[in-house]
Structure 1
Amino acid sequence: MSGGNIPPEIISPVRRIGRREFDFEHQVAIMAIVNRTPNSFHDQGRTYELDRAVAACVRAVEEGADWVDIGGFAFSAAQAAIGVEEEIERVAPVVAEVRAATDAVISVDTHRPEVARAALEAGADVINDTNGLREPGLAEVAAETGAGVVVTHSLGGPGKRVFRPSYTDVVSEVGGFLRERVEFALKAGIAPDRIIIDPGHDLNKNTFHSLELTRRLEEITAIGYPTLVALSNKDFIGETIDRPQGERKEGTIAANVVAILKGARILRVHDVAATVASVRMTEAVLGWRGPVAPSHNLA
């Protein structure tokens, strides 16, 4: 929060996304990550099989996730390219089965318009694009269908190698990119209340860049659209506290709480139950919700 206690002014803070309604002035949404890829950096293919991916989505909602994000192509450049049809085969069946099982928000993590359209037809509500709507045709799919979009900063986009990414001022450059891409989205016909932004921690950024983005996140949330942060178990956390991939939960929670205080309103995470507890506590301290089970003994 800028000035310590001033929340960002959010464009259309009360939003209906899919079948759920959110008040981003007083609520943080929790997005669960489910990757149907053999090479995802955290789960290492544990949810690659269809039944495991669906079960992971349903379990995340049972643990308190408001939203599940389903991906079929990792961001990393260290992977073999896959065709559009293969990516569709990875995500659309998961979306369809999860849609039948829950009213939670479903997003598809893709930068390809054909995959986005197939996922939306299967029941997804949001396109989560780590390429910042730079793929021709993607913004048009979102505008035509009325889908929500997450506009994310990256330099190269999914599957593209960027050697030694450098910035003069990472926060101002990321902010400038997001403003430009939001303007592009609006001109393409995407409604303002369908737009979410994400500064893209660790996406073509080193640890110092991601720490600076977190430290000055209020400059990103001040853009005005609900801000999503995807910090969960990322390398900047591991390098900061010297923890391997499977031991970054506490660091992730700490970074997410800082991000909330600086205006983030959607958290993309692997560890849903722990995140739910930390977020509910943070919301209560901020005065956004009361205790769930307060004692009536005042003595």
Structure 2
Amino acid sequence: MQFANKTIDLTQPRVMGILNVTPDSFSDGGRFTNMDAALNHTKQMLDEGADFIDIGGESTRPGAADVTLEQELDRVIPVVETICREFDCVVSVDTSKAQVMTEAVKAGAGLINDIRALREPGALQAAKQADVAICLMHMQGKPRTMQHNPEYGDVVADVLSFLQERVLECEKVGISRDKIILDPGFGFGKNQQQNYQLLACLQQFDQMRLPLLVGMSRKSMLGNVINRDTKQRLAASIAAATVALMQGAQIIRVHDVAETVDAIKIIQAVKAI
């Protein structure tokens, strides 16, 4: 798949390293708001085997406060510019704002990762004009309220239907399918049972014949089962990633890159038999 000027083979599982340049993200808020810290962490994740660095300037944890356009631009764009200049990797920008998408791609980003699936004003046109890869994620509600009693008729069918609809909307404005990645949105407007129903049935997303990105790293859907806080969820994160990869997920979005890369090597050894 083409990501700006870089091609990545998604027939092999790939790792997306998380770089939150926010003060309030659920797991690592405040750790990488300094440029030196962000660059050092980027280098570490790339050395450990990440193919993508996903940069987010607005926390999307449940209950998170909104961030202004100016705040997000100030947080994200200098980091995107510097990483694209210093490192050979695909930079992904985790945003729903059209102007942030536009400026991040100008700065070198090769992937727009939108939790709102290009539903914000101007986002579809901005993504079309940017002419880079796009990840469309399913979310019910908004980050501030999304975990307040989410309801579905059939969570797998409903998420599939939503993503199919968003792909059609992309195609209507001229975004080709070969630029689209899908994300079922674990933890975004789903309760515990709904998250695990999605994970158990992830293979059903193969019917869309588009690359699948999943992000469960350190999330509460894991912590609630093992009764551990965010810093003690590594084993659970690897287990969830393994389940997803065995069902065909192509990109795993994680905090712990080295350990996820090791898990992928074992999965590939099993699949090679």
Report the TM-score, using the length of structure 1 for normalisation: 0.88
The match for 1:24 is 10
Aligned residue runs from structure 1 range 60-99, under 5 A: 60-99=45-84
Distance in 1 separating the partners of 2:101 and 2:142: 16
Distance in 2 separating the partners of 1:122 and 1:254: 35
Alpha-carbon deviation of 1:57? Answer: 1.5
Alpha-carbon deviation of 1:17? Answer: 2.0
- 1:74–1:159 Cα contact (<8 Å) kept: no
Report the TM-score, using the length of structure 2 for normalisation: 0.96
- In structure 1, the gaps of 5 or more residues are 1-14, 289-299
- Aligned residue-pair number: 273
CA offset digits 1:237-264 (Å, max 9, x no partner): 1112222111111111111111111110
Distance in 2 separating the partners of 1:81 and 1:136: 16
The match for 2:224 is 239
Alpha-carbon deviation of 1:161? Answer: 4.5
- In structure 2, the gaps of 5 or more residues are none
Matched, 1:53 2:38: yes
The match for 2:257 is 272
Matched, 1:207 2:195: no
Matched, 1:132 2:117: yes
- 2:146–2:188 Cα contact (<8 Å) kept: no
The match for 1:12 is none
Distance in 2 separating the partners of 1:134 and 1:180: 11
Matched, 1:114 2:130: no
Matched, 1:261 2:246: yes
The match for 2:152 is 167
Distance in 2 separating the partners of 1:206 and 1:161: 10
Q: Structure 1's 18 and 284: CA in aligned 2 closer, same or farther, altered over 3 A? A: farther
Distance in 2 separating the partners of 1:127 and 1:201: 18
Letter in structure 2 aligned against 1:167: Y
- 2:20–2:29 Cα contact (<8 Å) kept: no
Alpha-carbon deviation of 1:114? Answer: 0.5
Matched, 1:221 2:192: no
Matched, 1:183 2:168: yes
User: What is the SS of the residue equivalent to 2:135?
Assistant: strand
The match for 1:7 is none
Alpha-carbon deviation of 1:159? Answer: 4.3
CA offset digits 1:64-100 (Å, max 9, x no partner): 1000000000113533322111101100011011001
Q: Which deviates further from its counterpart, 93-102 or 76-85?
A: 76-85
Q: Which has the larger radius of gyration?
A: 1
- 1:70–1:107 Cα contact (<8 Å) kept: yes
Alpha-carbon deviation of 1:53? Answer: 1.6
Moved over 6 A (4+): none
Distance in 2 separating the partners of 1:79 and 1:239: 19
Alpha-carbon deviation of 1:19? Answer: 4.1
Q: Which has the higher helix share?
A: 2
Match of 1:252 among 220, 227, 237: 237
Percent of pairs with identical residues:
38
Distance in 2 separating the partners of 1:259 and 1:118: 32
Alpha-carbon deviation of 1:63? Answer: 1.1
The match for 2:127 is 142
Alpha-carbon deviation of 1:51? Answer: 2.0
Letter in structure 2 aligned against 1:55: N
Distance in 2 separating the partners of 1:160 and 1:140: 27
Alpha-carbon deviation of 1:23? Answer: 2.8
Distance in 2 separating the partners of 1:195 and 1:23: 14
